[in-house]
């Protein structure tokens, strides 16, 4: 019993560390190795939490439905491009190699795609058929982009022009990548034949050949995570999540192929139709893995936004006032010395204030009209400056405006029944503000480290 209690206690301590304590440790306090480990733990923690908050299961279901509708048009467009390049058979082989668990579905899809292209060869239907193909592809990738944008908290999607050009470019590049992958494999295999006498080199090259599909898949995931969201995604922050998701996807493929042995009962129930529920299952789980990778990319790139998150949500009134006064003082002093207007991240990084708390306070200061928020078009970011004459902004003015900010329109009888309580509160506020009314915020000293 004592041992069980000890295990439970250690488990609680571990959960507390990952969810709370680890966010109180800054990068400067850690060695290089620990910093990477802690960053990975933080990214995983945020991603798992946001997995539920962003309802990825529902999003994956929606994308599964969209993908099912677009499979034939996508294959048709892919093979139209490949046929034009003279590599149709090679692309078929590559698809079978990349998706070994979906050979039945791919064969049927290829038949439908061939029939579709065959019927679109003549007359008016040529133009309409091409438009429908491209439209189906754009709709699917638009849904994928919307899901990624929501994960990245991006409100504005691409314009229709950019959707057309970017998505079409993606489908023009994809067959080229697959052909290049096959060409590299053939080249290395040929070279391997001529190097049979080198017994040491041959196994190494053989291992490289086996890893080429994995590397191509990794690059595809990397491209998806960098280019699909309508925001700037850092290469270094997408690299490791893309690798982890590539590994997860390959493991899932292996388990899925092995697991098909245990679902033969579907053949007895559905017959040849059994491929459909299995395809739906594969698509649903594949999209879950891919969307979780997008969460990892977001968490990795924005990990600093989550420092002291729980503490920020439960900050004391006194300390919130202190941080508000501090940030107002930083903005005013920067203006007083003629410096460049500051961004939220400038204030956060320079003074070790959690970025979310910094953004909340800057929003509050702009709401009470102590500072102004404006857009610097050169860097496309918000900058902050005083909204009033800095020789008139006192500590008392700031605290008074904070006190008055918000609604006081309630049905509590503060003028008669609870007048004593209301008057006592107002009196204490007045006494607190008397000494602060004459203190200019610009005169508050900020000690620099020596």
Spatial distance between the Cα atoms of 406 and 210, rounded to a whole number of angstroms: 64
Spatial distance between the Cα atoms of 75 and 106, rounded to a whole number of angstroms: 9
Largest CA distance in the chain: 102
Spatial distance between the Cα atoms of 114 and 83, rounded to a whole number of angstroms: 11
- Each residue's pLDDT tens digit, 375-432: 877 777 788 999 988 888 888 888 888 888 888 878 888 888 888 988 888 888 887 7
Spatial distance between the Cα atoms of 119 and 296, rounded to a whole number of angstroms: 44
Closest CA to 144 of 215, 221, 76, 217: 221
- Each residue's pLDDT tens digit, 277-335: 777 888 888 899 999 999 989 888 877 767 666 667 778 888 888 999 999 999 999 99
- Alpha helices (H) along 228-316: 235-259, 265-270, 275-301, 309-313
13: left (phi over 0), alpha (psi -120 to 50) or beta: alpha
Q: Crossing angle for the helix pair 88-98 and 56-85, nearest 10 degrees?
A: 150
Work out the burial of residue 260: count CB atoms within 10 Å of its CB; fewer than 13 is exposed, 13-18 middle, 19 or more buried: middle
If you write DSSP's letter for every residue of 168-208 in order, what string do you get?
HHHHHHHHHHHHHHHHHHHHHHHHHHHTTT-TTHHHHHHHH
- Each residue's pLDDT tens digit, 140-184: 888 888 889 888 877 777 777 777 777 767 666 666 665 555 555
- Each residue's pLDDT tens digit, 220-268: 888 889 888 888 888 888 898 999 998 998 888 777 766 655 555 555 5
Spatial distance between the Cα atoms of 112 and 354, rounded to a whole number of angstroms: 55
Please check whether residue 401 is in contact with residue 364, taking contact to mean a CB–CB distance below 8 angstroms: no
SS3 assignment, position 18: helix
Please check whether residue 439 is in contact with residue 396, taking contact to mean a CB–CB distance below 8 angstroms: yes
| pLDDT score recorded for residue 329 | 93
Q: Give the containing element (helix H, strand E) for 382.
A: strand 381-386
Closest CA to 446 of 328, 360, 340: 328
CATH of 309-405+417-443, one of 1.10.3720.10, 1.10.10.10, 1.10.1040.10, 2.170.190.11: 1.10.10.10
């Amino acid at each position: 019993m004592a041992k069980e209690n000890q295990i439970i206690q250690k488990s609680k301590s571990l959960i507390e560390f990952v969810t709370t304590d680890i966010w109180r440790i800054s990068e400067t306090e850690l060695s290089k190795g620990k910093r990477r480990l802690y960053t990975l733990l933080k990214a995983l923690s945020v991603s798992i939490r946001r997995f539920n908050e962003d309802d990825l299961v529902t999003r994956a279901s929606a994308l599964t439905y969209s993908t099912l509708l677009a499979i034939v048009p996508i294959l048709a467009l892919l093979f139209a491009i490949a046929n034009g390049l003279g590599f149709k058979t090679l692309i078929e082989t590559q698809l079978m190699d990349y998706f070994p668990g979906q050979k039945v579905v791919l064969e049927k899809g290829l038949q439908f795609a061939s029939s579709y292209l065959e019927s679109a060869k003549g007359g008016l239907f040529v133009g309409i058929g091409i438009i429908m193909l491209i439209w189906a592809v754009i709709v699917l990738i638009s849904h994928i982009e919307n899901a990624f944008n929501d994960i990245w908290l991006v409100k504005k999607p691409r314009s229709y022009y950019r959707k057309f050009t970017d998505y079409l470019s993606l489908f023009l590049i994809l067959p080229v990548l697959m052909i290049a992958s096959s060409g590299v494999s053939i080249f290395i295999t040929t070279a391997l034949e001529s190097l049979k006498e080198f017994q040491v080199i041959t196994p190494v090259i053989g291992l490289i050949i086996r890893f080429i599909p994995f590397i191509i898949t990794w690059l595809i995931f990397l491209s998806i995570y960098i280019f699909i969201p309508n925001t700037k995604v850092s290469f270094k922050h997408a690299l490791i999540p893309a690798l982890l998701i590539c590994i997860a996807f390959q493991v899932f493929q292996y388990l899925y192929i092995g697991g098909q042995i245990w679902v033969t009962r579907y053949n007895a129930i559905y017959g040849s139709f059994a491929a459909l529920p299995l395809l739906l299952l594969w698509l649903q789980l594949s999209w879950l893995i891919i969307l979780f990778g997008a969460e990892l990319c977001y968490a990795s790139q924005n990990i600093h936004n989550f420092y002291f998150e729980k503490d920020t949500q439960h900050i004391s009134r006194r300390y919130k006032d202190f941080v508000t006064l501090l940030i107002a003082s930083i903005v005013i002093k920067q203006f007083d010395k003629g410096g460049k207007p500051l961004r939220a991240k400038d204030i956060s990084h320079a003074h070790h204030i959690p970025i979310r708390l910094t953004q909340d306070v800057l929003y509050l200061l702009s709401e009470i009209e102590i500072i102004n928020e404006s857009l610097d078009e050169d860097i496309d970011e918000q900058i902050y400056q005083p909204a009033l004459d800095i020789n008139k902004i006192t500590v008392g003015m700031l605290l008074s405006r904070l006190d008055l900010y918000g609604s006081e329109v309630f049905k509590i009888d503060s003028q008669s029944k609870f007048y004593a309580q209301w008057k006592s509160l107002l009196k204490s506020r007045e006494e607190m503000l008397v000494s602060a009314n004459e203190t200019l915020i610009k005169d508050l000293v900020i000690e620099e480290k020596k």
